[in-house]
Amino acid sequence: MRYRNEEERSYLDELEKKLIIKCIKCGSMARKEKNRNIMMLICTWKACKAKRTLWSNTIFERFKTDPTKVLSVVRLWFEGYKIKQIKELMDISGSTIINILSAVREKTVEKYYSDLEQIGGDDIIVEVDEAKFGKRKYHRGHRVEGVWVFGMVERTVERKAVFIVVENRSADTLLFLMKKYIKKDSIIFSDCWRGYARVGEYFHRH
């Protein structure tokens, strides 16, 4: 049995109608034009005439699959269907499904961190530290395989916190994250590792 995705198609059709379509190059209005079943946006200013697909800079741009199918895969996944079941219902490859779901996770994480509000504030203490999460390789010695996580936690009743996986623990990386997620007038508590040496140059106290 094939999955009928009328709801997804209707949703995308309505979304297309509501989009305010402008040229990303010059800002002029753009017109829609179908080219081999791909909806293109073409700038109406004769001196520009820049072209792009309707779904540029969205998750749909990454795949040759019909955007309706991409949306259906995501919907079925959230409804609890397994990859094998989605593959049979949608008649698309397992690798395509995995790639779609990976892209959704990536975009979700990006959106989550971009929407996070800064923690701390006037004379609020924020504790910062890093920890490695993983396990000892072959259960021998002290070498730990895993990922480093940088944590920032308010010393308040609410205990607001931000935790981020980091590829490296350089002073530049940690200070960048602190500036992004902690208010400048906060008081920073750390273990005084040399990576935090420049923290006092930016924050209220350290």
Over pLDDT 90: what percentage of the chain?
28
Alpha-carbon Rg for the chain in angstroms = 24
Over pLDDT 70: what percentage of the chain?
90
Inter-residue contact 100 to 83 (CB < 8 Å): no
Instruction: Transcribe 109-166 into DSSP letters.
Output: HHHHHHHPPPB--TT-EEEEEEEEEEEEGGG-SS-EEEEEEEEEEESSSS--EEEEEE
| Token pair belonging to 103 | 């892209």
Mean pLDDT of 117-140: 81
Q: Which stretch of 41-55, 159-173, 186-200 has the lowest confidence by average pLDDT?
A: 186-200
CA nearest to 90, candidates 63, 53, 108, 58: 63
194 against 174, higher pLDDT: 174
**What tens digit of pLDDT does each residue of 86-123 get?**
999 988 899 999 999 999 998 888 888 888 899 999 98
Mean pLDDT computed over every residue of the chain? 83
**What tens digit of pLDDT does each residue of 155-171 get?**
999 999 999 988 888 88
Contact residues for 140 (Cβ-Cβ < 8 A; gap 6+): none
Burial class, 48, CB count within 10 angstroms (exposed 0-12 / middle 13-18 / buried 19+): middle
| Token pair belonging to 23 | 């040229």
